[in-house]
Structure 1
Amino acid sequence: MFTYSERDLHRIPQAARTHFPVPRLATQSRMLEDESLDQGEVDSTLLRLPAPSLRGTFASAYAILTKIVNKVGWDDLLKYRSEVFVMEEEYRKQDQLPHDGASSKDDEEQSKPMRKTPEEAHWLSFTDKRLCERWLDNLFMVLYEDLRVYTIWRAEQAHYDIQAMPIKRSATDWELLGELALRLHHPEEAHDAFLQCILQNFRPKAYQRLLEYFTEKGSLEQALSMAMHLTAYNHRWYSDSVYPSAVAKQLFKIIKIEGLSKVSNILVAMKPPPAMLRLMQWYFTYAQEFHLPGTKL
């Protein structure tokens, strides 16, 4: 198990001073205004969740646990864990049992194998089970915290929905709740949380998650709308020089399924500003030059 999984690249020296002129497209949008808005108080429980800090193989193992718990539930997951693994306390108790040859008659009677019913018998005995290591036990605790916070959120959301009352949360809270729902494989709940987030403030991560969601659902206009917001944000911070970017990868998926001509026509029909249309055409030009799938459709 290892925690470091980043690219092995040389670190760029920090510049003595930087100056990023604001493009005209950014000044015409509400992007700069949203950055200066007060975010309000953030729920400390969401900030203390340990799952977002997992890296490397720990993050991969946690992703497998979330898939299992999404299929079978928390109770069955614990049952399967007890059938396959031995907890550290059980292992210590078993290790502390006397191993000397002198034993009383009661000990001999206790050591006799007892007939078990098919329900009690299991394909793994105690000696065949594997010790549940500390890192795996910690992942179960991390998963429990995520499930606990998610359950409280959904119960609170259902209560407010019955009362027809809106929940007042900050944009950061909605973004963290959306990430929580994604970790637990609840895309619809994550979609609702990210929508609430962007209604309050411009958050590039929320727009990126919504772009991935609408791309998966095949909603072309919504996906293109999210892509335009992200393209304008990347253009404002001069971070659109690396191809293919995260936005480009999602657009290329749409082009592969729907075709370049259809996607381009839908974008023109949405009537974006001329500057925005020119920025979006860069993705289409890249797809044509490198003959990506869907460019001939």
Structure 2
Amino acid sequence: MNLFSWRKKPQPPNTKTESPKDALFEQVTENVKWSKKLQESPKIVEHQFGESLGLRTRVLRTLVDADQLGIGPPDMIHATQFDKFHQEEVGEYHYMTGLDVSSEITPIAYLNALRFISNSSKTEGRVSTYCTTNIFSKVDIRIRYESEKHYQVNAIECHSGTTNVQLSQTIWEETFISGFIRSIIISKDKERKLPGLVEIPFGLDNGLTYCEKFVPVICKFLPRGIESGCDLTKHSQPSLKNNYLLHSLQEFLMISPNLYDVTIDSLEDLIKNDGENELCYRIAMIAIMVQSGTNDMVAIKTINNTIKKFYPLNFLHLRQHDLTNIVDLLCLQIEFLLSKNDYELALPIAKKITELSSDNFDAWYKLSECYLQMGEYELGLLSINSMPQMPMVDSCKEAMTEQKLEGFYYQNPSGIGPHSELQSNEFNHVCSSMKEYKEKDLESLIFGRIVMPNGNKRGYIENIWNGSCLQLGPIYGPQSKNLINFVSPQEVNSIGNPLLLRRNSMAKQLSWSLSQVYGLVMFIVSSIGWNSFLELRSKTFVMEREYLGTRRTLTQEIKSKRLCERWLDDLFLDIYDDLKIAMQSQEHREQKYSGLEWELLGLTLLRTRNWSEAVACLRTSIMARFDLVSAEKLLKLYLSDDFTEKGALDPDAVLALLVDKVSYESRFYDTFQLPNLLILRKLCAFEGVESIRNHVYALPSAQKGFVSLMDRFLDYIKEMCE
């Protein structure tokens, strides 16, 4: 079964139509193409044969039972190898996102290619398994493949482990949508990545026509978006506006602006033909119009008409479901006004939303932003103090992390280099199965029990791959906000400022909501100065410790003030520490630091809005050793609307950073790189695609593997963005 019928080639009249599966295995050239890609796949060597499949089953059951499945784990591919010398089976596996799982056809092609790269004598009895999770029906699709004529496709219930689920078209549609969501969300979030993960570019290699076909499928599925969940650190609950499915579609459209019209047309058709879900499609269409910034008048009319049609009277006595929807609509209205810097018109709407939904962080944030942009700092502080506190981490994401899918397989190089934890017999087996590598070269590819070859050298830049990539390995997981946990302990211990180290430790990392509040407070500080801010704080708030010490004899002055929430008081102290670090850095400008120390100082200066100094520190960190975190922060500055005011980098410097970042991430099997595509799209908008291409060709480090990857990115941008 294939969700996307357009991929089937038309058959001439009076010819026998073979099944898609039979035709699949006659396309040897396709297998050759896949096999070339597979040379780049990592190999995680199991301790015990089959343990990864058992772990996946247990993890899925645990997550579903706790209602914490979220977007689900990445797809997993398990392959059976046979150690002829020891006469035993050896299990290898890796993770994947981005593969088309709208039917079994593409996964089977992938598994067949695994078999194709080995000669027939070695593949007798070899079994490969492709696993992909359907987050809607909560089943794990498992394709067990032995040969062209022997394979099984089952849907395993995550809770019970049974295979009673029938593989219907609906199941395959849900599975495809699940895969799409994971591909987008994981590409944007390093904390969700794993060593041994292969990220295939979703839709990028298939062109505009393919994308124009699957976008309507996603649009049709939007009424079930709430089932996909949302980031609970940002929203208290999923809604028609705040869910992973719509968010993923919006993220995809940001790198594919030529699809905006197709998407809006699809939603308009659905509004006409599916009246039951009209409000859902309208909210999605408004969100996409506001994001695109090219349909202002239509967006305004759609917002007003939608509110009048569905909520013609007033917003009182609404059911919770209706209340959530009207809040979503009003939030979109504010987003539109803020994008036009119309804070005065946005202010009363923000006030209204906080009345309707007092636990809506987004509404309180926008209300505070309006006050601050209008110079009403005291009212802004009071609004900040009223903000609901969101969870430090998303419970579903945290549960997935705690399951440690990487197990005890990965060994962090810790600034020293790869270190193998394979037994001698396991290492010998790896050597025999990878004869194209010399034993000495192979040792530099093994991180614990994960073999990370990259035969095609796609994205290869010598000093990146043989430098930081070997020293640091993949940067992933909750600790990826800086490099403290990726460099050597000696480098960490060499940091002379304990306050700098403490302020950037894992224990002091801010949640998403606190980081947003931090930015608002620093806006006030940078506008009026620290001393004036302290006076404003003293005028506005009474601190908890002051209140508790005088509550028996409260003065009129104290009674007139608002009690400062403890979390906000703690944040003030953190800001003071960061400003102290920033001031000390000004006094020791000539001092020499390690690469890590420059990075941590740069991150601290970013938080305190010392833009030019932060840029200088982060660039110095990269000069000491390519630093993925520093590069990411600098490129994020370039994406901001006011980047010219933030110690902006010139286009050549941005491209140089981007080139190194693309190379680093491609070394560890990420050829999607959605954040990098956003940067490249902005560069091309200013400089032109062909101009950027010529710059890439002229780079001294531009070797064949890297140029081919950048060509593919630039070709995509030319087709989807111009």
Q: Is the 8 A contact 2:465 2:667 kept in 1?
A: no
Partners of 1:145 and 1:286 lie apart in 2 by 45
For residues 85-164 of structure 1, what are the structure 2 equivalents within 5 Å? 85-97=541-553, 126-157=558-589, 160=590
- Greater Cα offset, 215-224 or 186-195: 215-224
1:234 aligns with 2:665: yes
Bigger mean CA offset, 172-181 vs 66-75 = 66-75
Which digits, 9 at most, give the CA deviation of each residue in 1:137-188, with x for residues without a partner?
Answer: 101100010011110111111xx3xxxxxx2211100000110111111221
Residue type of the alignment partner of 2:633: R
User: Cα distance, 1:249 vs. partner?
Assistant: 1.5
Q: Give the secondary-structure state (helix, strand or coil) at the position aligned to 2:588.
A: helix
Alignment partner of 2:500 out of 46, 58, 61: 46
**Residue 256 of structure 1: CA displacement?**
2.7
Deviations 1:257-279 (A, max 9, x none): 33323322333344622322112
Look up the equivalent residue of 1:182 and give its one-letter code: L
The 5 Å alignment of 1:108-257 reads 126-157=558-589, 160=590, 167-213=591-637, 216=643, 217=648, 219-240=650-671, 242-244=672-674, 246-257=675-686
- For the residues of structure 2 that align with 1:33 and 1:257, how far apart are their CA atoms? 32
Code of the aligned partner of 1:221: D
Give the letter for the 1:73 counterpart.
G
Q: Structure 1 residues 45, 90: closer, same or farther in 2, change over 3 A?
A: closer
- Secondary structure in 1 matching 2:452: coil
Name the CA distance, whole Å, in 1 between partners of 2:665 and 2:716. 17
SS at 1:96 equivalent:
helix
Counterparts in 2 of 1:91 and 1:235: CA distance versus 1, 3 Å: same
The verdict on how the C-alpha distance between 1:97 and 1:218 changes in structure 2, with shifts beyond 3 A counting, is: closer
State the alpha-carbon separation in 2 of the partners of residues 174 and 218 from structure 1. Answer: 18
Q: Aligned partners of 1:243 and 1:201: how far apart in 2?
A: 21
Identity %: 25
Contact 1:207 1:226 (8 Å CA) reproduced: yes
**1:14 matched to which residue of 2?**
406
Cα 1:87–1:211 shift into 2, 3 Å: closer
Could you tell me how far apart the structure 1 residues matched to 2:693 and 2:564 are?
A: 54
Tell me the residue number matched to 1:276: 706
Q: CA deviation at 1:84?
A: 1.1
CA distance 1:201–1:243, shift in 2 (3 Å): closer
Partner residue, 2:516: 60
Using the TM superposition, give the Cα deviation of residue 27 of structure 1 relative to its aligned residue in structure 2, in angstroms: 7.4
1:214–1:222: 8 Å Cα contact kept in structure 2?
Answer: no
Per the TM alignment, residue 93 of structure 1 is displaced from its structure 2 partner at its CA by: 4.8
Which ranges in structure 1 are unaligned for 5 or more consecutive residues?
A: 99-110, 112-123, 161-166
Corresponding pairs, count: 258
Taking the aligned partners of 1:208 and 1:56, their CA distance within structure 2 comes to 17
**5+ residue gaps in structure 2?**
1-388, 410-448, 472-486
- Secondary structure at the residue paired with 1:268? helix
Contact 1:178 1:191 in 2 (8 A): yes
Match in the other structure for 1:74: 530
Q: Is the alpha carbon distance of 1:262 and 1:4 closer, same or farther for their aligned partners in structure 2, counting shifts above 3 Å? A: same
> Is the CA contact 1:3–1:54 (under 8 Å) kept in the aligned structure 2?
no
Distance in 1 (CA, whole Å) between partners of 2:618 and 2:454 is 27
Q: Are residues 57 and 209 of structure 1, via their aligned partners in 2, closer, same or farther at CA, if it must alter by over 3 Å?
A: closer
The 10-residue stretch of structure 1 (18-27 or 169-178) with the greater mean CA deviation from structure 2: 18-27
The TM-score normalised by the length of structure 1 is 0.75
CA RMSD in angstroms comes to 3.0
Query: Structure 1 7/237 Cα, relative in aligned 2: closer, same or farther at 3 Å?
Result: farther
* 8 A contact 2:543–2:564 mirrored in 1: yes
Shift of 1:255: 2.1
CA distance in 2: counterparts of 1:73 and 1:280, whole angstroms: 45
Assess if the C-alpha contact under 8 Å between 2:452 and 2:668 holds in 1.
yes
Matched to 2:580, the amino acid is R
Q: Which amino acid aligns with 2:717?
A: A
* Alignment deviations for residues 15-70 of structure 1 (CA, whole Å, 9 cap, x no partner): 66532114546573254234549764123332101685110322221121122111
Identify the structure with bigger relative contact order (alpha carbons < 8 Å, sequence gap 6+): 1
Would the alpha carbon gap of residues 4 and 286 (structure 1) be closer, same or farther in structure 2, given more than 3 Å must change?
farther
**Structure 2 counterpart SS, 1:29:** helix
Following superposition, the deviation at residue 126 of structure 1 comes to 3.7
In 1, Cα distance between the equivalents of 2:688 and 2:678? Answer: 14
